[in-house]
Structure formats: C-alpha cells, structure tokens
Amino acid sequence: MLTVHHPWHGVSYGEGAPRIVNAIIEIPEGSRSKYEVDKTTGLLKLDRVIYSSFHYPINYGFIPQTLGQDDDPLDILVLCSQSIQPLCLVEATVIGNMQMIDQGALDDKIIAVASKDPSVNHYRNVEELPHHFLAELKNYFEQYKVLENKKVEIDNFQDKAAALKIIEEAIAFYKKSFQK
C-alpha cells in the first residue's frame, strides 16, 4: 500500500525550531510560476503565472505544521546560492522577517538561509544582508501583483528575535487549529 504524507501536515517543523526549521520549497528562485501546495491533496499546483515580467528573487516556501495569520502555512524565503527544486525539504536557519501587508491583511515572510550552503550560512540576522538585496526583495513583493490590480505593502524588515516569536506563534496556532 502506498502512503503519501501531506507536506504541510505530515512533515515536522524541525527539531531546532524556531531557530532552525524545515522549509518546504514551493517556488524556486528565478521562477515566474506561482506554485503552492494544495491544502486538500498535498500536491503541488500551479496557482498562476505571475502577471508581471518579474521573477522570484529568492526560494519561496513554507514551514510545515505552522499556521500564519492568513490561515495558510507560514511563508518562508530561503536564501541560497542555488535555485531549489519545488517540494525539496531544506534545513533553514532563521535570520528575520519581512512584514508584508497583502490587500490589507498581514502576511509575514520569514527570512532564512539554507543551513547547508556555505555561501550564505554565515548570516545570522537580516541586518547583515546587503542593503540592495533587501531593496530588491521589497521591490519585488510590492510590485509583483500590480498588474493584477492588487495592493501589497512591505511594512518593514524585522530582526531574528521578532521572526522567532512569529514562528512560535504559528506553531501554537497550528496545534490549536489542527491537533484537537
């Protein structure tokens, strides 16, 4: 008999959480395709092709067994020297958070580095990242939905301590919502 685990519910957030977490990548850096794990089946589905000419500037995914304030798994942006394949499980070291407001609703994006990538795993806090890289992230997320007539704002970048608290809250919210 074949058993398939749902990536959101069947994979741990990681023994080292909230500092070191498991990230499941949905969208590789450089993609214009917005993939997401289907909440019902656990399969990776194409949500849409980004309306603009922008490409994702960073690997994008989620932390399993978490629930964000938007009722989705908590998003995570994983900095790596390589584009990471969708549905790849990545050990990620948390360094901060990008506080995003998507059409009026809070939609946090945890920022992390791939723990096993020596090109980036020396970063310990979001403030250490090059200012231009943070400007690119901010620009991408503020602009990628413009042609869909949707408004996205980046409130600010938050440090590691704020990110760790957000992850702890998302783990607790998941447990309260799904482990009754």
CATH code, 105: 3.90.80.10
Establish if 96 belongs to a structural domain: yes
Asked whether the beta carbons of 133 and 54 are under 8 A apart, the reply is: no
Amino acid in the structure at residue 145:
K
Establish if 15 belongs to a structural domain: no
Establish if 125 belongs to a structural domain: yes
Establish if 12 belongs to a structural domain: no
Establish if 13 belongs to a structural domain: no
Between CA 62 and CA 22 the distance in angstroms is: 8
pLDDT tens, 60-100? 999 999 999 999 999 999 999 999 999 999 999 999 999 99
Q: In the numeric block, which tokens belong to residue 127?
A: 């403030």
Q: Would you place residue 4 in the very low, low, confident or very high pLDDT band (cuts 50, 70, 90)? A: low
pLDDT tens, 116-145? 999 999 999 999 999 999 999 999 999 999
Establish if 74 belongs to a structural domain: yes
Q: Please give the model's pTM, rounded to 2 decimal places.
A: 0.96
Return the percent helix, strand and coil in the chain, to nearest 5.
20, 35, 45
Q: Which residue has the higher pLDDT, 5 or 121?
A: 121
Asked whether the beta carbons of 126 and 160 are under 8 A apart, the reply is: yes
Establish if 146 belongs to a structural domain: yes
Establish if 36 belongs to a structural domain: yes
**In this model, does residue 160 exceed pLDDT 90?**
yes
Residue range 141-160: mean pLDDT, rounded: 93
Q: In the numeric block, which tokens belong to residue 143?
A: 């602009």
Q: Which residue has the higher pLDDT, 179 or 20?
A: 20
Range of the domain at 27: 20-178
**In this model, does residue 180 exceed pLDDT 90?**
no
pLDDT tens, 97-117? 999 999 888 999 999 999 999
Q: In the numeric block, which tokens belong to residue 99?
A: 């506080």
Asked whether the beta carbons of 56 and 30 are under 8 A apart, the reply is: yes
Sort 89 into a burial class: Cβ within 10 Å, 0-12 / 13-18 / 19+: middle
Q: In the numeric block, which tokens belong to residue 106?
A: 């809070």
Count: domains in the chain: 1
Sort 73 into a burial class: Cβ within 10 Å, 0-12 / 13-18 / 19+: buried
Asked whether the beta carbons of 4 and 12 are under 8 A apart, the reply is: no
